[in-house]
A and B are shown apart, each in its own frame.
Chain A
Amino acid sequence: MSLDCTDIDKIAHLARLAIAPDDRTRYATDLSRILDLVAQMAAVDTTGVTPMAHPLHMAQRLRPDLASEPNQRERFQSIAPLTEGGLYLVPKVID
C-alpha cells in the first residue's frame, strides 16, 4: 500500500503532530514500507489462530473497589498553564 502526502497530512492531523512540509515525502515512503510489511503478515493464513491482544500469556489482575486517592488538585494544577476556580482552562472547543 502506498501513501501520498495528503495521507501524511491527514495522519499528522489525527495525531496532532506538526510535520515540516519537506519531511512529508520521507514519511510517506517510510510509512508505506511499514504498511507493506503489515500486508505481508496479513497475507498469512491465520485460520484457527486466536487473535493476540497482548504478548504476555497472563490475565488482567483486578483491584478492589476502594477510593483511596487523596485530593492533590493543587499539585496537579501547579503545572497547568491556566486554571480558574479549580477548572483547567483550554482554548474554546465549541464555536
Chain B
Amino acid sequence: MQWETVIGLEIHTQLATQSKIFSAAPTAFGAEPNTQACAIDLGLPGVLPMLNAEAVRLAVRFGQAINADIAPRSVFARKNYFYPDLPKGYQISQYELPIVGTGRVEIVLDDGTIKTIGVTRAHLEEDAGKSLHEDFHGFTGIDLNRAGTPLLEIVSEPDLRSPAEAVAYAKKIHQIVRYIGISDGNMQEGSFRMDANVSVRPVGQKTFGTRAEIKNVNSFRFLEKAIAFEVERQIELIESGGTVIQETRLYDAVKDETRSMRTKEEANDYRYFPDPDLLPLEIDDAFLSAATADLPELPDAKRTRFQSEYGLSEYDANLLTASRELADYYEAVARACNEPKLAANWVSGELMAALNKSEGEISASPVSAHALAGLIARIQDGTVSGKLAKQVFEGMWSSGDTADAVIEAQGLKQITDSSAIEAMIDAIIAANPAQVEQYRAGKDKVFGFFVGQVMKQSGSKANPAQVNELLQRKLSA
C-alpha cells in the first residue's frame, strides 16, 4: 500500500524580553537555580499576574510578519495540570481567542517549487520550570528560573507531507523570528523547541490517521530523523495489523528512535477556562502600528530583491539571506565594491568557509564588509590575481589588516610590468630549448608548461593575461 505522511508542527519560541510575561523577574539564561523566580512565578498565594507589554508587542510583530490577523481582543486561559515544574497547578496560556490568527509562510521544496504552509494560530503563554531527574537520591530537583518566561506557541496546519517539508517550515519560522528580532532562536538554550504531530494514511484517503505527538525536539536534524522514524514505525505497525494510538512520544537521539513517554501524570484533561486574574487583552490600531512600524524587510522579500537588484541566482540569494546579519554583510560588501556577483562568491565562499571553520558569528568576523570590499576592488583593478587574493584573504583573516596592508606586507602585488615578465619568459625559453622545439613542431599542449614555469618563477604574481599574450608572441617568433 502507498502511504501519505501528514505532519503539523507546534513551535515554542522564547520571546526576547528582559522580564517574564507576568512578573518582573529577569529572564537571563544560565543564572543560579531559582534566583530568577519571584513570588508570582512560584505561584505563592495572593499574587496577581501583570502582563508584559513587550511580550505582546513581539507577538504582534510575528502576526504581521506571517500576514495573519491580529486579534483586537484575545483572552488568557488557565490550562490545568499538576506537575512540579508548574507550581500554580496551571499554565497561563491562550485557548479559544489567541492573539495571532490564521497566517501563512512559504517554503522552498527540493525541486525548487514554492509551497504555502498555513499557520493556524500563535498564542502567548508562560514557560514552565525545569525538572532535573538525576543525582538527587530518589528526588527530582526543580529550577523555576524558566517558569513564567514568555513563549509564543506557533501552530501549523497539518500541511506538511514529509520530514524534509517539516524541516523547511521549521527553518522558515526560525528565520522569521530572528529576522524580526522577537527571539534569539537559540536552540541549545531551548529558545526554539518543536513538537511534531505525525500520522499516516493510505494515499487518497480524505480523513487523517491517528497521530502521535513527538515532544520537545531541539534541532532540525533530530526533527527530520524523529519524524522519519515515526512514519516508518506507524506504517510497520499498521501493515502488521496493529493500530496507532494517540500518545506523546520522545525522540532518543542516541538510539535514533521515538518511544512512548510514560510519566506518573496521566491526566490529559486540561479543563481550560478564562483566567479570572487577567482581563481580556485589547490591541488597538495605535499599538499595532507602533509594534510593526519598524518591521525589517522579511527573508522572502529580501531574496527576491537580491535576485533582481544584484542579479544573483536563486541559490545564492537564498544562501545570502539565511540570516539578517549575513544579508546585511553581503549587501554592505556588494555596495562598497559595486561588484555584486563577485561579492556573492566571496561571501558565500571564502568568508563562509572561514566562519564555519572558526565556528564564529558573522558579526565577529575579523574581516569586515568594508575590508572584503577593499580586497575585491584590488582584484578588479589588477593589483592582485584571483588566485593570490585567497592568500590575501587568509592574511586579512588572521591579522585583521586591510587588503592593501596584507598585499604590501606579503609582497603579493601582481606583476604587470611587461618588461619584467618578458625577461622571465626569455630566460625560460633559453633554458628549455627542447620544449620550444616541440611547441614549434605543433605540440600545443607544451604551452601550458611554459605558463606554469612563468607563474612558478614569479611566485604566481605575474598577470596571467599578460603572460599568455607575451608567451604566444615570443614562442611563435
Q: A interface vs B, CB < 8 Å?
A: 13-14, 16, 51, 53-54, 56, 58-69, 71-73, 76-77, 82, 84-95
Contact = CB atoms under 8 A, between A and B. Distances in A.
B125 to A, nearest CB: 15
A86 B143 CA distance: 8
Nearest to A93: B140
B133 A59 contact: no
B53 A87 contact: no
Contacts of B264: 93-95
Contacts of A82: 139
B279 interface: yes
B278 A60 contact: yes
Contacts of A90: 84, 139-140, 142
A79 B358 CA distance: 49
The DSSP consensus for interface residues of chain A is loop
B97 interface: yes
Nearest to A63: B50
For chain B, which range describes its interface: under 10, 10 to 19, 20 to 34, or 35 or more residues? 35 or more
Contact of B138 (A62, A71, A87, A92): A92
Shortest beta-carbon contacts, A-B, top 4: A65-B54, A87-B141, A62-B53, A67-B26
A57 B471 CA distance: 90
Interface stretch (B36-44, B162-170, B171-179, B367-375): B36-44
Contacts of B18: 65-67
Given A53-B97, A87-B136, A88-B142, 20 more contacts: A14-B267, A62-B56, A65-B18, A65-B19, A65-B53, A67-B19, A69-B19, A69-B23, A69-B26, A72-B38, A76-B34, A84-B141, A88-B84, A89-B139, A89-B142, A93-B263, A94-B140, A94-B262, A94-B263, A95-B263
Interface of B: 17-19, 23-28, 32-39, 42, 44, 50-56, 73, 75-76, 80, 82-84, 89, 96-97, 131-133, 136, 138-144, 262-265, 267, 269, 271, 274, 276, 278-282
6 contacts: A54-B279, A62-B51, A69-B36, A72-B39, A73-B35, A84-B141
A64 B141 contact: no
Nearest to B287: A62
A63 B36 contact: no
A64 B262 contact: no
Contacts of B138: 92
B35 A87 contact: no
Nearest to B80: A14
Contact of B280 (A53, A68, A71): A53
Given A72-B38, A85-B33, A88-B142, A16 B51 contact: no
A20 B141 CA distance: 32
A86 B132 CA distance: 12
A54 B274 contact: yes
Contacts of B56: 62
A53 B278 CA distance: 9
Contacts of A71: 35-36
A59 B278 CA distance: 9
B52 A62 contact: yes
A91 B132 CA distance: 12
A65 B24 CA distance: 7
Given A72-B38, A85-B33, A86-B34, A92 B52 contact: no
Contacts of A51: 96
A54 B140 contact: no
A83 B25 CA distance: 21
A16 B279 contact: no
A58 B17 CA distance: 26
Contacts of A84: 136, 139, 141
Most buried by B among A53, A54, A68, A94: A53
Nearest to B265: A93
Contacts of A53: 75, 97, 274, 279-280
A61 B269 CA distance: 30
Contacts of B84: 88, 90, 93
Nearest to A68: B24
Contacts of A72: 38-39
A95 to B, nearest CB: 7
Contact of A65 (B17, B34, B36, B131): B17
B45 to A, nearest CB: 12
